[in-house]
Amino acid sequence: MTDSSTVFAAGAVCWRIVGGKVRILLVHRTQHRDISLPKGKVDPGELLPQTAVREIHEETGLVVGLGAPLGQVQYKIPSGRDKVVYYWSAEVDAHALESARFRPNDEISALEWVSLSKARGVLSYPHDIDIVDTFAERWRAGNARTFAIVVVRHGKAVTPDAWDGPDSTRPLLLRGTAQAASIAPSIAAYRPEKIFTSTAARCVATITPLAELTGIKPKQTAGISQDAYESDEATIGELLHKRMKAKANVVLCSHGPVIPEIVREIAALSRTPLTTEFAATGQLGTGEFSVLHLSSRHPKSGIVALETHSPQPE
């Protein structure tokens, strides 16, 4: 799976409510003459969430935001290489549906919205059915609709011993600037509604490409800075309590020592046991980000899904 010859791809179970019932989108592929979930291969320089959103738009005309991940499948392709496909859920709202422009083409001959039971009967591949079944479990549990808390560690910055000035003014290195640009499109794939950042220069600079991409003005918040954390003046709990109540996608950009506390606070507010896996989402390298998905209906019933992504290597 980690072999360099492995083909990586990403897609989603696109879903919407029709007459009180859930329907998911299937694509009829022209050349393969099969029926599958929308997906496509990673382009150079992309991270997986960015790929999923781009491919869905290219194949279906829909502009979507990603919900919680649904897992991954692996299989052999005709060339003998391994292919690994990562899937998310993606709710399609009325605006996206009305704005979409699809025409049959050499890749996709038709789109079809179907019930979960029909999808199981017409999908061409068992691994697609497995992903639909995972979504169906979430739907039955009332956790299909989620909101995301995206926690970002700032990019690689000038080291303290090489900087003659306050710690909060340390700038990003060129590597850190590249990391910030690398992760921005994939964070945008979750359609954040608000962005909060530590007041430190390295955090503000890390989130700038995302702000430019989304048009969202970041709110600089001293309460999630490293200075506030080290002086016991952090306001992490207060901020997260408000964000949990809002049930809206949000981005928090902070520091290595602070992020584990952010994750612990999310665990407490969502009543999620702080397992080793959960705690690991707070152990981020520079430029990495974790996405914690909570149920919009039952936000205090535990985290629905976790994922962590790294910037493209140099």
Would you tell me how many other CB atoms lie within 10 Å of the CB of residue 39?
A: 21
Asked if residue 38 lies in contact with residue 59, where contact means CB atoms within 8 angstroms, the answer is: yes
Any idea which residue has 């207060």 for tokens?
238
pLDDT for 104 equals 83
Cα–Cα distance measured from residue 91 to residue 249, given in angstroms and rounded to the nearest whole number:
14
Phi, psi (degrees; rounded to nearest 5) at 264: -60, -40
pTM of the shown model: 0.94
Q: What is the SS3 assignment for 185?
A: helix
Confidence (pLDDT) at 296: 96
* pLDDT of the residue at 4: 67
The 3-state secondary structure of 114-180, one letter per residue:
ECHHHHHHHCCCHHHHHHHHHHHHHHHHCCCCEEEEEEEECCCECCHHHCCCCHHHCCECHHHHHHH
What residue ranges define each of the domains in the chain, with the CATH number in brackets?
Answer: 7-141 (3.90.79.10), 146-309 (3.40.50.1240)
- One digit per residue, the tens of pLDDT, for the chain of length 314 reads 345 689 999 999 999 999 999 999 999 988 878 899 999 999 999 999 999 999 999 999 999 999 999 999 999 888 889 999 999 999 999 989 888 888 888 889 999 999 999 999 999 999 999 999 999 999 999 999 999 999 999 999 999 999 999 999 999 999 999 999 999 999 999 999 999 999 999 999 999 999 999 999 999 999 999 999 999 998 999 999 999 999 999 999 999 999 999 999 999 999 999 999 899 999 999 999 999 999 999 999 999 999 999 998 86
Alpha-carbon radius of gyration of the chain: 20
**Residue 102's pLDDT is what?**
86
